[in-house]
Structure 1
Amino acid sequence: MLVFPSCKINIGLRIVEKRPDGFHNLQSCFYPVGWGDILELIPSDKFTFSSSGLPIPDNLDSNLCVRAYNLLKADFDLPPVQLHLHKIVPIGAGLGGGSADAAFTLKLLNDRFVLGLSSTELEDYARLLGSDCAFFVQNRPVYCSEKGDVFSEITVDLSGYHILLVYPNLAISTAEAYAGIQPRQPKVPLHNQLLNPIDTWRSTIQNDFEDSLFPTYPILNQIKEQLYDAGAVYASMSGSGSTVYGIFNAPIVMPNQFSAYRVWEGKL
């Protein structure tokens, strides 16, 4: 069985307060994007995990696909399987690629072994693996709050727009990104701003991580401005970086400046 875990972008990301448990409460819109990995499940006499494509850490105990399998195995009599992940989405890119792999592992096991878990139950398991893992269970646009794992409906529809993702071969750890954050409550909730036309977003919707990461990594701001110069109606860094994306009205003519980077272009 094959599945194709796809990534997401953040449209706006406001860090509103630090929680007593050390995490942060945030406001964001998670929006699915078609760039993804390939995950295969094969029946086997013993459990194995292998990977190809982009290199990933070798520590099986921390691998999210392995943790997802073990999480369900603890509650269900799962037989051993072979999992193979072909990694395409960069790691440390702010796109949730690893979280998608974990959630799609849960869904794949649920379907293959007819566990009967509902989407809500799968989301509960996914939350045990990471703050944004639960999003990829249903993989549709949602407004996120608390740690990024509480979802509510939002009428953001970018169907027909085109997107260009630019990963500048720069991995930014979550710890590094949060080290420069000063939580603050926005004057206008992000949810309200997202309801306005997309051509207003440039002046109203921001990613709070840009304030601290752009001075440290000027290439990120440069890419954002190049996307606007290329005709983007909205551009932003995704998550805690380092991917920067631009949303366009029409198919994109790839700027030459991005030829040295990993890029993906598609329709939303």
Structure 2
Amino acid sequence: MLDFPNAKINLGLQIVEKRPDGFHNLESCFYPVQWCDALEILPAGKNTFTMSGLPVPGDPETNLCLKAYKLLEKTYNLPPVHMHLHKVIPMGAGLGGGSADAAFALRILNKLFKLELTIEELQNYARMLGSDCAFFVENKPVIAVERGDVFMPALLNLSGYSCVIVYPGLHITTAEAYAGVTPEKPTCTMEMVLKQDIKLWKDIMHNDFEKSLFPKYPELANLKANLYEAGAVYASMTGSGSAVYGIFESDAPANLIFPKNYLLWKGLL
């Protein structure tokens, strides 16, 4: 069974407070975009896992797709499978690619072996794999709170807008990103911000990580400025970086030029 785990962008990201467990409570809008990996899972004589596409650092045995399989296998005694992951979404970009792979592995296994898990059950398994994994179970716009794993409906439809995402090849660790942030409760909730016209977002919607990361990595600030100069109605870094995106009212300009080593995605929202 083949499926295509997709990325997400953060529309705003406010770090609200540090939790007793060492994590942070946040508030953000997660919005799916169709920059996709490919994940195939087939019944097999023994468990195997292969990868292609962008190189994934670390031991393949720690890949979240395998962790998803092992999580369900404990309860449902799943038969062996062959998994192949073709990696297209860059890592360390704030796009949630690894989380999407994990959630889609749960979804595929649920269908493949007719486990009949509900959306809520799949989300609970996904939360065991990572903070934003659960988002990709339903894969629709939400306001994410707490660790990014508790969701409220986002009454937002950006159909007809286009998006450009640029990844400059900087791998920013979560620890590095959070080290520069001072948590602060927002004066304007994400729900209130999303009700405003998108043309006003530039002044009222913020990613808290930009304040410390832009001076450290000026190419990120330049990317955001370039996207606004090209006509974006809103531009921002996504997640804890380092991908930067711009939202355009119509098709993205064809003459956007970035260094050859940058990865670029364009498409409709």
3-state DSSP of counterpart to 2:203 = helix
Cα offsets for 1:148-204 (capped at 9, x unmatched): 000011211100000000000111111111111100011111221111110000000
3-state DSSP of counterpart to 2:235 = strand
Distance in 2 (alpha carbons) for counterparts of 1:127 and 1:263? 29
For the 8 Å contact 1:233–1:246, the answer to whether it is kept is: yes
Q: Which amino acid aligns with 1:264?
A: W
Gaps of at least 5 residues in structure 1 are none
Answering whether residue 263 of structure 2 is matched by residue 262 of structure 1, we say yes
For the 8 Å contact 2:143–2:190, the answer to whether it is kept is: no
Answering whether residue 56 of structure 2 is matched by residue 64 of structure 1, we say no
Cα offsets for 1:50-95 (capped at 9, x unmatched): 1000011341342100100000001102000000000000000000
3-state DSSP of counterpart to 1:116 = coil
Give the fraction of aligned pairs with identical amino acids, expressed as a percent: 57
Answering whether residue 126 of structure 2 is matched by residue 118 of structure 1, we say no
Q: 1:147 to 1:133 in 2, by over 3 A?
A: same
Q: Would you identify which runs of 4 or more consecutive aligned residues in structure 1 move more than 4 Å?
A: none
Q: Which residue of 2 aligns with 1:194?
A: 194
Answering whether residue 70 of structure 2 is matched by residue 73 of structure 1, we say no
Q: 1:82 to 1:58 in 2, by over 3 A?
A: farther
Distance in 2 (alpha carbons) for counterparts of 1:183 and 1:256? 35
Q: 1:43 to 1:69 in 2, by over 3 A?
A: same
Distance in 1 (alpha carbons) for counterparts of 2:55 and 2:110? 27
For the 8 Å contact 1:31–1:141, the answer to whether it is kept is: yes
Distance in 2 (alpha carbons) for counterparts of 1:202 and 1:258? 25
Cα offsets for 1:190-221 (capped at 9, x unmatched): 22111111000000000000001001100000
**Deviation for aligned residue 1:222:** 0.2
Q: Which amino acid aligns with 1:109?
A: L
Q: Which residue of 1 aligns with 2:148?
A: 148
Answering whether residue 213 of structure 2 is matched by residue 224 of structure 1, we say no
For the 8 Å contact 1:37–1:89, the answer to whether it is kept is: yes
Within a 5 Å distance, the mapping from 1:1-268 to structure 2 comes to 1-252=1-252, 253-268=254-269
Distance in 2 (alpha carbons) for counterparts of 1:107 and 1:260? 33
Gaps of at least 5 residues in structure 2 are none
Distance in 2 (alpha carbons) for counterparts of 1:243 and 1:263? 9
Q: Which deviates further from its counterpart, 16-25 or 58-67?
A: 58-67
TM-score by length of 2: 0.98
3-state DSSP of counterpart to 2:76 = coil
Distance in 1 (alpha carbons) for counterparts of 2:154 and 2:163? 20
Q: Once superposed, what is the RMSD of the aligned Cα atoms?
A: 0.9
